[in-house]
A and B are shown apart, each in its own frame.
Chain A
Amino acid sequence: MLERFIPAAASYAGDVDQLVWLITFLVGFWFIAAEVMFFWLIFRFRKKDGVKAQYITGKEKHLKQWINVPHGLVLLFDVFIIIAAIRVWVHIKQTLPPADRTVRVTSQQWAWTFQDPGADDSLDTADDVFTTDELHVENNKTYHFRLESKDVLHSFFIPAFRMKQDAVPGRIYTGWFKPTRLGDYDILCAEICGIGHGVMGAKLVVETADQRATWLAAHAPAVDETATDATATDAASTDATSSDSTSAAAGQQ
């Protein structure tokens, strides 16, 4: 259902979509049944001349069934929903498959900074690439992300991945995703973070290994090892899609 509005671009996006379908079927059944019954009763028992209402206490066994049976069924349906919801949750939030690559995501008022591990695939080395408001990831690779915040709460939300996680200052959260569909997607901040909350977005680019290699080559910091910080800041500013913040980026670690 969600796919009608927004593509599913991560390995677990389909799981969330299926869960949403399941919930829609189960609660939709009750919703429609209850509304139909409700309006039918209003129509059937509208006031008619000479017809007096019945005196029913609700203790009559044959009538009480109309409450008790749905009551039991709602409980049963609830159990299905709970099991399905927890399965999806455990898969996305409580398991951490081995990473092919790890990126650092730093949020602040009002920009995202992404630290790509670079060609050597290890974070916090000289060839890391810092970008602001643009994240490049390779298709079909499992990524870990280290989510941090520098000031207030933000929330790292990628609708196409069906993934969301709050960034809390003072804490580092590690999560994962595995992109499965090429293209450009939105990254949103889903937690109000001040007057710039409405412009705090970023672009997510899911690309092939070749495209990523080209991108890396274009953005890799100069080989001069003595100036990691300076080059990193450089890379960030060239890449900045928003004029907000170039100071954001690098050198903090």
Chain B
Amino acid sequence: MANHHDTHDHHDGAHAHHDEGWFKKYFWSTDHKIIGFQYMFTGMLLALLGAFMAYVFRMQLAFPGQAVPGWGVVSPGQYNMLITNHGSIMIFWVAMPVLIAGFGNYIIPLMIGADDMVFPRLNRLSYQLFFVSVLLLIASLVVQNGGFGGAWTAYPPLSANKDFNLTPLGSSLWLGAVAVEFVAFLLGGINFIVTAMNARAPGMKAFDVPIVVWTIVIASILFMASVGPLVAGAVMLLFDQLLGTSFFNPNRGGDPILWQHLFWFFGHPEVYVVLLPAMGIVAEVMTVFARKKLFAYKTVIYTIVATGVLSFFVWAHHQFVAGIDPRMANVFTVTTVLISIPIAEMCFVYIATLYGGSITLSTPMLWALAFMAEFMLGGVTGIYLGSSGADIFFHDTYFVVAHFHYTFFPIAIIAVMSGITYWFPKMFGRHMNDFWGKVHFWGTIIPFNGIFIPLFVLGAAGEHRRIFDYHSFPHLATPELQSLRIIATVSLVVMLAFQPVFLVNYIVSMFRGPKADKNPWKANTLEWTADSPPPHGNWAELPNCYRGPYEYSVEGRELDYWPQNEKA
């Protein structure tokens, strides 16, 4: 590979020196950093909406039938709409845009030493489509007859037939929003993959690429290879809704279980689509704040790939009791339990990375460590659900809810917080307040466990999901179980009460925080060699790469870090 410097001369004149309008700069930009922000801020705004929904239905569960402050009395239809959209929003419109599209856009070109994505206009189109999907989603909530309430899995015939779900407009708009969102991420994903494969800095070999770039790229590949059948399925379901076709209609020769296969063939890899970037962020933060080389870099890559491949063969564990051939359950139990091996291996490697380190408990590091501590509980409880015999009982109980919140919350909130606090100085050229950062950290982590530990217990007691009021079920309406529901709800309210701390810290620091220099954490990766914040084009002269990303505390060097772009 040629070892030369790309220069920017022909490029600068094009856009750096003339004044772009505000609209053009922030809404019509092709700059990967601005598009990353667009995704991130949209995702964060929708996170507020999703959190509000959680607040409303948790209040209903703790105090059934009483008016919820800020909402009123929750009707069963509203309850179903709230849980459905809480789930869809948090996965499709928060975890995906923030983790993959947001961080992916912002950091991939910076970390591989490129001036932008390879297809900037495609990138802009991706966000615009995503924005359309947001509008469709919002519309689906406010139309006549209310929003869709058939759960985020949207199983037909409930989702396909308006006589069953009673929300003709809401269902179709929701489905359309999901489909458009998928197309947006397909465009974005192609961009990420090609950029990371082809636009790396001179000298940067595949195994010199930071883990987080690997994880985002592999997550994009997983997404791309798994979402296709569901895109087709969404079109078919939309036709069932609008035209009266019979793809999933059992009365006319269709098959409702088919949708479940199409959905989960995507839905389970989707878990790893969001998990992998989170693990990537954690790897970056842990190595920097432990001043340690990642323990066995290549092993991590192999476990990422192994997880990705295996994730295509586990989907039917969501359908053990759905009426599929029971012999299939045995196959999927084996694959599902076996996926614990690469994931456990990855956790072991991360833990081993701490050995021999010099650990500073800064705010980003606290979040990264909390991710590991909490995610492990989410991981091991998955074994109960992957074991067919035990899943007969646990399927669709609150045990499942607790389990996947112990994976998704660390992914979509804890790892994201780690990433935001870590890259904040790069993004805005200023530091966030560390004290308030830690207040927010403890105020989030402690109540988080308070919400979901009780839900494990409720699940073990047989409490089934998506019920707006347990009064109809004598064995679930006992005062003991009700008090667990109240503990969970109170914890949620406490956790939400701490979130303004973050929002204020974030916004104030953006404008008033102490100035950050180029490399405040003394990190190795290339983004820290650009200005904070980097200009359009990122570097006046694009960097070259001479070594791997985790050369911390190398023996015989005075400094305990060794940036990738330093020649010797």
Residues of A within 8 A of B (CB): 1-2, 4-6, 15-16, 19-20, 23, 26-28, 30-31, 34-35, 37-39, 41-42, 45-48, 51-59, 63-64, 66-67, 70-71, 74-75, 78, 81-82, 84-90, 92-94, 109, 151-153, 155, 157, 159-160, 162-171, 173, 184-186, 188-201
Contacts and interface: CB of A to CB of B under 8 A. Distances in A.
A5 B457 contact: yes
Contacts of A6: 461-462, 475
A196 B326 CA distance: 29
B462 A56 contact: no
Given A45-B359, A46-B359, A173 B323 contact: yes
B387 A82 contact: yes
Contacts of B149: 194-195
24 contacts: A2-B462, A6-B461, A6-B475, A37-B351, A38-B351, A38-B372, A42-B359, A52-B358, A55-B554, A56-B295, A67-B296, A74-B345, A88-B388, A89-B333, A92-B392, A93-B329, A94-B327, A151-B164, A157-B396, A170-B251, A186-B475, A190-B395, A196-B76, A201-B472
B233 to A, nearest CB: 16
B354 interface: yes
A16 B392 contact: yes
Contacts of B250: 168-171
Given A155-B396, A168-B256, A188-B462, A53 B333 contact: no
Contact of A45 (B79, B299, B326, B358): B358
Interface stretch (B177-185, B286-294, B438-446, B524-532): B286-294
A188 B467 CA distance: 10
Contact of B469 (A93, A159, A163, A198): A198
Interface in B72-100: 75-77, 79-80
A194 B393 contact: no
Interface of B: 75-77, 79-80, 149-151, 155-158, 161, 164-166, 250-251, 256-257, 290-297, 299, 320-323, 326-327, 329-330, 333-334, 337-338, 340-341, 344-345, 347-349, 351-352, 354-361, 369, 372-373, 376-377, 380-381, 383-384, 387-390, 392-393, 395-397, 457, 460-462, 464-469, 472-476, 552-555, 560
A71 B359 contact: no
Contact of B340 (A35, A56, A74): A74
Contacts of A55: 293, 552-555
Nearest to B356: A54
Contacts of A188: 462, 464, 473
A41 B355 CA distance: 6
Contact of B467 (A152, A169, A198): A198
B76 A5 contact: no
Given A5-B460, A78-B338, A196-B76, A155 B360 contact: no
B337 A56 contact: no
B349 A193 contact: no
Given A78-B337, A169-B256, A45 B396 contact: no
Nearest to B155: A153
B558 to A, nearest CB: 10
A195 B167 CA distance: 11
A159 B394 CA distance: 9
Contacts of A27: 380-381, 383-384
Contacts of B79: 198
A85 B333 CA distance: 8
Residue from A15, A39, A52, A166 with most neighbouring chain B CB atoms (10 Å): A166
A190 B257 CA distance: 16
A199 B466 contact: no
Contacts of B166: 194-195
Interface centre among B77, B164, B361, B560 (most CB of A within 10 A): B164
Contacts of B384: 20, 23, 27
Contacts of B345: 67, 71, 74
Nearest to A71: B345
A1 B460 contact: yes
B412 to A, nearest CB: 22
A165 B296 CA distance: 45
A53 B291 contact: yes
Nearest to A196: B76
Given A2-B393, A31-B377, 13 more contacts: A89-B326, A93-B326, A157-B396, A164-B395, A167-B323, A186-B476, A188-B473, A194-B150, A194-B158, A194-B165, A198-B79, A198-B466, A198-B468
B323 A185 contact: no
A135 B17 CA distance: 79
Nearest to A58: B296
The 9 closest A-B pairs by CB, nearest first: A88-B389, A159-B462, A170-B250, A58-B296, A85-B387, A54-B356, A5-B461, A53-B553, A89-B388
A162 B397 CA distance: 12
A166 B337 CA distance: 23
B380 to A, nearest CB: 4
B387 A81 contact: yes
A41 B150 contact: no
Q: B164, B165, B293, B323: which has the most chain A beta carbons within 10 Å?
A: B323
Contacts of A173: 323
Contacts of A89: 320, 326, 329-330, 333, 388-389, 392
A39 B352 CA distance: 12
A23 B555 CA distance: 44
Contacts of A4: 460
A53 B376 contact: no
Given A56-B295, A173-B323, A63 B352 contact: yes
B24 to A, nearest CB: 46
A67 B380 contact: no
Contacts of B292: 53-54, 56
A160 B257 CA distance: 27
Given A5-B461, A186-B474, A84 B293 contact: no
Nearest to A78: B337
B351 A171 contact: no
Given A38-B373, A53-B358, A85-B337, A19 B290 contact: no
A4 B480 CA distance: 12
Contacts of A164: 321, 392-393, 395-396
B389 A84 contact: yes
Contacts of A152: 155-158, 161, 164
Contacts of B161: 152
A186 B473 CA distance: 6
Nearest to B349: A67
A163 B389 CA distance: 10
Contacts of B158: 152-153, 192-194
B87 to A, nearest CB: 11
B246 to A, nearest CB: 11
A109 B388 CA distance: 28
B553 A54 contact: yes
Nearest to B297: A58
